């Protein structure tokens, strides 16, 4: 399926695994440039490498985490076209 996302710049919260990881994989498969954000670690780096994307280490549960994640992605790509608001835990 072609969703017309080729070249779109996406930031996916909780994107290193689980639902966020699956969303990041689907966006990358559609041709989007994907930045995955989660707490820093090997899982985050591995997911970004698999997708050919950007690893953004940030804790989205903190006051400054979401802004830092957006700043990192926009700084790397000059803007964002998609934002998936998702974080780990219930």
CA distances in angstroms from 82 to 38, 44, 49, 87, listed in the order given? 17, 19, 20, 16
- Supply the pTM of this predicted model: 0.91
Burial class for 30, CB neighbours closer than 10 Å (0-12, 13-18, 19+): middle
Q: Residue holding tokens 């779109």?
A: 8
pLDDT per position as a tens digit, 38-71: 988 889 999 999 999 999 999 988 999 999 999 9
Percentage with pLDDT > 70 across the chain: 97
């Amino acid at each position: 399926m072609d969703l017309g996302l080729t070249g779109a710049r996406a930031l996916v919260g909780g994107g290193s695994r689980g639902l966020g990881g699956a969303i990041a994989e689907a966006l990358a498969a559609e041709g989007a440039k994907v930045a995955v954000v989660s707490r820093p670690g090997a899982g985050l780096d591995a997911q970004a490498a698999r997708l050919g994307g950007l690893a953004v280490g940030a804790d989205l549960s903190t006051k400054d985490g979401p802004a830092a994640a957006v700043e990192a992605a926009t700084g790397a790509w000059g803007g964002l076209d998609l934002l998936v608001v998702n974080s780990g835990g219930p």
